[in-house]
Structure 1
Amino acid sequence: MDIIIVENEQQYQDALTVRKTVFVEEQQVPMELEVDEHEKSAVHFVIYHEKHPVGAGRIRIKGQTAKVERICVLKEARGQNIGLALMQRIEHVALEKGLKTLVLHAQTHAQGFYEKLGYKVTSDLFYDANIPHVEMTKAIQTTSVVK
């Protein structure tokens, strides 16, 4: 498994293919909500398994905070710790950039996954694209991230 920071159009398209499969096709999120005005300014990640894209995510940097977004793994690749590896890579990159806090909007079905990684709920339940979410945050430091 390779987790890379997107550096070219093909890698971006690979990440977008995974996002479209998970969010647009599987979860019925409208395409105009999935692909937004932050695409060009975000740092995108794509995960390859045997040269096939199987996961994706992105962060947006806001001051000392990284907003973690669009975390997804293809259905057939779930249960193999790909999401965990992606989140660890994102935290490592955030630390390298000098960031101190990560924030994300977790779908409630994934809340337990993020809690196991040390994220804490910081909001009431809200809906985004008709899917229930909660905001979660995590303070990061050198000792909290596995490289």
Structure 2
Amino acid sequence: MKSSTWNICTVSTPRELEDAFSVRKNVFVEEQGVSIDLERDHEDDSAIHFVLYDHGVPSGAARIRLLETYAKLERVCIQKSMRGTGAGAALMEAIETEVTKQGFDVAKLNAQVHASGFYKRIGYTVCSGEFMDAGIPHVTMEKRL
């Protein structure tokens, strides 16, 4: 379900970047117990970042890195109170639109196993065995755009 109260943007200001980082910190560090040193890394400097606002409140975030043959989607997250509303699917649609605009036709991501069902519903397929990242089970998934 798409909501007119959502605004999804490609980060273009320091404020928007801080908003994206605040959502990531809330979801990954505070909710899931990931170390801030793992959550924030040097890849943030060159990535394309996204932030989803709900009624002006930062409620979702993600980043993409454009690699040689595919776009790698990373740090995709939605605030707990927004899960199940369609916000995640809307964020992914905006990301995939940007990936295509950048000239890529394959998106890959490392999904937390508990979230892999969400990604399957929007067209991603598992292309790896299960592995641990930041103490959380993950699988690599991909989608042709």
Q: Same fold (TM over 0.5)?
A: yes
Give the Cα–Cα distance (whole angstroms) in 1 for the partners of residues 89 and 75 of structure 2. Answer: 14
Give the Cα–Cα distance (whole angstroms) in 1 for the partners of residues 130 and 81 of structure 2. Answer: 29
1:126·1:133 contact (CA, 8 Å) conserved in 2? yes
Q: Residue 20 of structure 1: SS of its match in structure 2?
A: helix
Shift of 1:118: 1.0
Give the Cα–Cα distance (whole angstroms) in 2 for the partners of residues 50 and 101 of structure 1. Answer: 32
Shift of 1:12: 0.3
Once superposed, which parts of structure 1, at least 4 consecutive aligned residues long, lie more than 6 Å away?
A: none
Partner of 2:39: 34
Partner of 1:143: none
Query: Counterparts in 2 of 1:82-93, with a 5 A limit?
Result: 82-93=87-98
> How many residue pairs were aligned?
140
1:139 aligns with 2:144: yes
Q: Residue 29 of structure 1: SS of its match in structure 2?
A: coil
* TM-score (norm: length of structure 2): 0.95
Give the Cα–Cα distance (whole angstroms) in 2 for the partners of residues 137 and 54 of structure 1. Answer: 24
Partner of 1:12: 17
Gaps of 5+ in 2: 1-5
Q: Residue 111 of structure 2: SS of its match in structure 1?
A: strand
* TM-score (norm: length of structure 1): 0.93
Shift of 1:66: 0.6
Identity, in percent, stands at 46
